[in-house]
Amino acid sequence: MGLVTLVWVGPFFWMALGSFKPRESIIATELVLRFSPTWENYNAIFSRFAFWTYTANSFLVAIATTFITVAASILAAYALSRYRAGGRLFEFWLMFTRMLPPATLLIPLFLIFRTLGLINTLTGLILADASFLLSFSVWLLRGFFDEVPVGLEEAAACDGASRMQSLFYIVLPMAAPGVTATVILSLIFAWNEYLFAIVFASATASKTLPAAANDFITGYAINWGPVFASGVIIVLPVAAAALLLQRYIVQGLTLGAFK
Question: Which residues within the stretch 38-77 sit at the binding site for other proteins (CB under 8 A)?
Answer: 68, 71-73, 75-76
Q: How far is the CB of 38 from other proteins (least distance, A)?
A: 18
The correct pick among 45, 62, 122, 229 for binding other proteins (CB under 8 A) is 122
Question: Which of 142, 175 has the CB closer to other proteins?
Answer: 142
Distances (CA, A) of 176 to 161, 221, 223, 239: 20, 48, 44, 22
Which residues have CB under 8 Å from 33's CB, separation 6+?
Answer: none
Q: How far is the CB of 172 from other proteins (least distance, A)?
A: 14
Indicate the burial class of 230 (C-beta count within 10 angstroms; 0-12, 13-18, 19 or more).
Answer: buried
Contact segment (CB under 8 A) with other proteins among 35-43, 111-119, 148-156, 168-176 equals 111-119
Contact segment (CB under 8 A) with other proteins among 42-50, 145-153, 169-177, 243-251 equals 243-251
Contact segment (CB under 8 A) with other proteins among 2-10, 39-47, 49-57, 173-181 equals 2-10
- Least Cα distance to 145 among 87, 73, 89 occurs for 73
The correct pick among 12, 39, 52, 169 for binding other proteins (CB under 8 A) is 12
Contact segment (CB under 8 A) with other proteins among 45-53, 80-88, 148-156, 173-181 equals 80-88
CA torsion 187→193→198→202, rounded to 10°?
10
Element (H, E) at 157: helix 150-158
Question: Which of 46, 232 has the CB closer to other proteins?
Answer: 232
Which residues have CB under 8 Å from 230's CB, separation 6+?
Answer: 45, 51, 209, 212, 213, 216
Told to check if 88 binds other proteins by CB under 8 A, we report no
CA dist., res. 28 & res. 38, Å (int): 16
Site for other proteins in 141-170 (CB under 8 A): 142-143, 162-164
CA dist., res. 75 & res. 66, Å (int): 14
CA dist., res. 65 & res. 204, Å (int): 20
Question: Which of 95, 150 has the CB closer to other proteins?
Answer: 95
Neighbours of 231 (CB within 10 A): 20
Site string for other proteins, 221-240 (x = CB under 8 A): -x-x--xx--x--xx--xx-
Site for other proteins in 172-211 (CB under 8 A): 188-189, 191-192, 194-195, 199, 210
Site string for other proteins, 21-40 (x = CB under 8 A): ------xxxxx---------
User: What 3-state class would DSSP assign to 228?
Assistant: helix
The correct pick among 24, 101, 158, 220 for binding other proteins (CB under 8 A) is 101
Q: Residues of 154-165 as b/e, b for ≥16 C-beta within 10 angstroms?
A: eebeeeebeeee
The correct pick among 37, 39, 47, 85 for binding other proteins (CB under 8 A) is 85
